[in-house]
Amino acid sequence: MLDTKQLSHYIAGEWVEGDEFTEVINPATKEVVVSVPLANQDKVDVAVREAKRAQKEWALVPAPQRAEVLFEVGRLMKEKKEHLSQLLTLENGKVLEEARGEVQEGIDMAFYMAGEGRRLFGQTTNAELKDKFAMSVRAPVGVVGIITPWNFPIAIATWKSFPAIVAGNAVIWKPATETPIMAFELAKIFETAGLPKGVVNVVFGTGSTVGEAMVHHQDIRVISFTGSNETGSHIAAECGRQLKKVSLELGGKNAVIVMDDADIDLAVEGILWSAFGTSGQRCTACSRVIVHEKVKERLEEKLLTDMNKLTIGNGLESENKVGPIINEASLEKIKKYIEIGKDEGATLLAGGNELVDGDFASGFYFAPTLFTDVSIEMRIAQEEIFGPVVSLIPVASFEEAIEANNSVTYGLSSSIFTNDVNQVFKAQRDLDTGIVYVNAGTTGAEIHLPFGGTKGTGNGHRDSGVQALDVFTEWKAVYVDYSGKLQRAQIDTE
């Protein structure tokens, strides 16, 4: 499926071989897929130097022409969609249907951001003095650093790199070491699409070397990061010391609220899809279900019945709906939370165990898990588990449901199932999250809307949507005085 056994960095338009390597493991089978090089500080320095040189010229290319390259990137991704999807399943484990969805997100982002080449709107406004013109324009930032996680190895990279490129920046991209293949494939697409050398550079390596080198490099002016809160807050502190712009998209503890008037069958479908899709390893995954006590039993019953029908296994086999967990460390983290939940007094209704029999023995698999009678202060109701584990929290009213939703330190996504229009509008107002769904699960963001969250989910920036351009541009205010004399603002206003 992959035409090489060893990946190379992509720096200044050249394929640069590595010295040291680590192996990429297919989480469904524990087989080695490919070797990925691990760069050191020197490679980052070279990449940034070349990116800086390339960016100066790229910024002078008219934006509609920059966009032409993105249109071609989108076309090539579309042409290679099936190939990319299969490789994505191979390195990440998510089932093929979801991998195709993720690649499609990247294709959509390419065409959407290419369209921005003819917009990138600024504002014209009135000056306060006669014969004077005022406007604000978007200017590229320069060289930007993109650090991405393993759970969406291509979509997240497109949310960040495509707006950066169309806005006239050059990019240094460090993908997660677990999932480098999508970065390698996307670099090939950039090359084929005719992106000038040095505008995008892919440097493979660990967070502690390549990531740190990027964060500390004085010529990288922005860091856009998606991943854990721990790493995100560390990066923010380092960037803060350097007064470097940083955009963070971190974790979630997302809830589906099921009210007493909800369509229970629909709610269960929404919960299953958003809780167990990608084996719960999405930042928007549903990991809490806040249920009105009047429908708690009905919901539990239906959830248990339908959870039993979930087919688990290698994502390349089309009958499977839930794939493996990314690696041993994640599996251990999930197991630890099962013990925490039991110790806290939650009732385990289903799952709670690693799957080890038969074919499961050759991968990292965990049974879809349901806890009930969970209260909001329990750790399993507060902390990100990042696995197929759902906690049911019973409540007695709409107000209590909103309070339970907002009781966590995260604020990414939330959802409510109800047919009461008044509750719908109150919920979209009162749910303290960056994304709200009504009568749908907590996942399924569309790329032309802003993606990100409140509170501990980030630092106020957004991925995707037109808002992503704010991360990768500086606002410049321009005043043109055509009076032929010196006019002093705030003074010569008569």
Q: Which residues does the annotation mark as catalytic?
A: 249, 283
Q: Smallest distance, Å, CB 340 to ligand NDP?
A: 14
Q: Report DSSP letters for 20-61, one per residue.
A: SEEEEE-TTT--EEEEEE---HHHHHHHHHHHHHHHHHHTTS
Q: Smallest distance, Å, CB 241 to ligand NDP?
A: 14
Cβ(198)–Cβ(142) below 8 Å: no
Nearer to ligand NDP, 157 or 257 (CB): 157
Q: Does 234 bind ligand NDP (CB under 6 A)?
A: yes
Select the span of 205-213, 348-356, 402-410, 430-438 touching ligand NDP (CB under 6 A).
205-213
Q: Does 153 bind ligand NDP (CB under 6 A)?
A: no
Instruction: List, in sequence order, every residue forming a beta bridge with 21; answer none if it has no partner.
Output: 37
* Alpha helices by DSSP H, 151-292: 155-166, 181-193, 212-216, 229-242, 264-276
- Report DSSP state, residue 72: H
Query: Looking at 231, 254, 279, 407, which residue binds ligand NDP (CB under 6 A)?
Result: 231
Q: Does 333 bind ligand NDP (CB under 6 A)?
A: yes
Q: Does 254 bind ligand NDP (CB under 6 A)?
A: no
Task: Give CA–CA dist 82/90, Å, rounded.
Answer: 12
- Size, binding site for ligand NDP by CB under 6 A: 27
Task: Give CA–CA dist 25/23, Å, rounded.
Answer: 6
Q: Smallest distance, Å, CB 327 to ligand NDP?
A: 9
Nearer to ligand NDP, 274 or 330 (CB): 330
Task: Give CA–CA dist 254/410, Å, rounded.
Answer: 8
**Residue listed under structure tokens 């000038």:** 196
Cβ(7)–Cβ(187) below 8 Å: no
Task: Give CA–CA dist 187/128, Å, rounded.
Answer: 48
Select the span of 120-128, 206-214, 260-268, 388-396 touching ligand NDP (CB under 6 A).
206-214
Select the span of 48-56, 209-217, 336-344, 368-376 touching ligand NDP (CB under 6 A).
209-217
Q: How many alpha carbons lie under 13 Å from residue 408 in its C-beta half-sphere?
A: 33
Nearer to ligand NDP, 26 or 148 (CB): 148
Query: Looking at 169, 330, 391, 433, which residue binds ligand NDP (CB under 6 A)?
Result: 330
Query: Looking at 37, 74, 140, 149, which residue binds ligand NDP (CB under 6 A)?
Result: 149
Strands 365-366 and 354-355: antiparallel
Query: Looking at 206, 375, 382, 467, which residue binds ligand NDP (CB under 6 A)?
Result: 206
Cβ(32)–Cβ(5) below 8 Å: no
Q: Does 228 bind ligand NDP (CB under 6 A)?
A: yes
Cβ(106)–Cβ(155) below 8 Å: yes
Q: Does 235 bind ligand NDP (CB under 6 A)?
A: yes
Q: Does 283 bind ligand NDP (CB under 6 A)?
A: yes
Q: Does 250 bind ligand NDP (CB under 6 A)?
A: yes
Nearer to ligand NDP, 148 or 414 (CB): 148
Q: Does 207 bind ligand NDP (CB under 6 A)?
A: yes
Q: Smallest distance, Å, CB 216 to ligand NDP?
A: 9
Q: Does 212 bind ligand NDP (CB under 6 A)?
A: yes
Task: Give CA–CA dist 103/279, Å, rounded.
Answer: 18
Task: Give CA–CA dist 335/239, Å, rounded.
Answer: 34
Best CA proximity match to 181, nearest among 325, 386, 17, 37 = 37
Task: Give CA–CA dist 333/251, Å, rounded.
Answer: 15
Q: Does 211 bind ligand NDP (CB under 6 A)?
A: yes
Q: Does 384 bind ligand NDP (CB under 6 A)?
A: yes
Q: Please give the structure tokens belonging to residue 233.
A: 């807050």
Nearer to ligand NDP, 327 or 406 (CB): 327
Nearer to ligand NDP, 42 or 319 (CB): 42
Element counts in the chain: helices (H) and strands (E): 14, 23
Q: Smallest distance, Å, CB 88 to ligand NDP?
A: 15
Nearer to ligand NDP, 88 or 262 (CB): 88
Q: Smallest distance, Å, CB 228 to ligand NDP?
A: 3
* Alpha helices by DSSP H, 243-354: 264-276, 296-307, 328-344
Burial of 5 (0-12, 13-18, 19+ CB in 10 A): exposed
Query: Looking at 65, 126, 208, 422, which residue binds ligand NDP (CB under 6 A)?
Result: 208
Select the span of 145-153, 312-320, 366-374, 399-407 touching ligand NDP (CB under 6 A).
145-153
Q: What does residue 479 show for φ and ψ, rounded to 5 degrees?
A: -115, 130
Q: Please give the structure tokens belonging to residue 245.
A: 């712009």
Give contact residues for ligand NDP (rule: CB under 6 A). Answer: 147-151, 174, 176-177, 206-208, 211-212, 215, 226-228, 231, 234-235, 250-251, 283, 330, 333, 384, 386
